[in-house]
Amino acid sequence: MHLTDELSKVTLAHLRDPDGRCALRLSKEFENQRASVSANIRFRLSGRLEESASLAQTSLDSPRLSHFPTPRDFLPEERAVFAAASRWYVEIFGDRRATSAGTYDFSTPRSELGINLVGGAGLRFITDDGLPEIRILQYAGRSAIPESLFDAPEVRFSMLRNEAWIRSTGSPLLVTVADLIRGEAFVQSLSPEPLLTACNDWLATCVERIRERVIDPKPEMGTDCAWCGFISSCDAVMK
């Protein structure tokens, strides 16, 4: 058994709104219970596009559309979205020469909190000025990107997932959040230390709230059910 098997899984969705998710679903995910595979299909597009974006800049270069071949195994609807998202990626980042700084780990164990952070962490690059850059890609995100990027749970989650890398660079950080369906992007640079402190405080508060909610979880039917990986075994829905 790995150390991470003993840690509770925490994702961006859990942190975005610890009070919003059905408590039963939250508890099953937090306890690392296995969900149905179908709940993960929607991540195919982001995974393929981010892989192409990393490969586009393995050496100092700019991304071009030729770096984003449409996956042949995609359904027609997925191919159309992939093509549109690729165009926006090149539109937004096409003049940004940079080098990919490798991929992030599958998860970030936080043993002191008893959790393991799981989920996309953004893409790492080193700009042609030598600055570390994180690109966080969204696909019609739930809400418009706030002008103060670091209020966004997506950005805070990415900072926590990349914390070791950010600290290892020891320099100011460039963060870009781009929505590849809406076609909008925001960029900010900052000194990372105060931000990392705030992100860790936010994480501890959210985890405390999650632990309170999973003590005696009750099913709460609603929009959450549509994407719930446990729906086939949920007595509340399937009765």
213 binds ligand SF4 (CB under 6 A): no
Site mask for ligand SF4 (CB under 6 A), range 25-54, x = bound: x-----------------------------
The answer to whether residues 116 and 157 touch, using CB atoms and an 8 Å cutoff, is no
Q: Which residues pair with 132 in a beta bridge?
A: 126
231 binds ligand SF4 (CB under 6 A): yes
Dihedral of CA 144/150/151/157: which sign? positive
List of E strands, the chain:
8-10, 98-100, 107-110, 115-118, 123-127, 132-138, 173-179, 184-190
Ranges of H-type helices in 118-228: 153-161, 163-169, 192-213
DSSP state of 169: H
**What does the radius of gyration of the chain's CA atoms come to, in whole angstroms?**
19
- Tell me the window of 58-66, 107-115, 185-193, 224-232 that interacts with ligand SF4 (CB under 6 A): 224-232
Of 82, 93, 125, 230, the one binding ligand SF4 by CB under 6 A: 230
Min separation Cβ 193 and ligand SF4, Å: 38
Min separation Cβ 34 and ligand SF4, Å: 14
Of 15, 22, 107, 121, the one binding ligand SF4 by CB under 6 A: 22
187 binds ligand SF4 (CB under 6 A): no
Min separation Cβ 203 and ligand SF4, Å: 24
Contacts with ligand SF4 by CB under 6 A: the residue count is: 14
- Tell me the window of 55-63, 93-101, 121-129, 225-233 that interacts with ligand SF4 (CB under 6 A): 225-233
228 binds ligand SF4 (CB under 6 A): yes
Instruction: Give the other-Cβ count within 10 Å of 104's Cβ.
Output: 18
Instruction: Dig out the tokens for 93 from the structure.
Output: 């980042």
Please give the Cα distance from 157 to 199 (Å, whole number).
8
The binding site for ligand SF4 (CB under 6 A) comprises: 22, 24-25, 219-221, 224-225, 228, 230-231, 234, 236-237
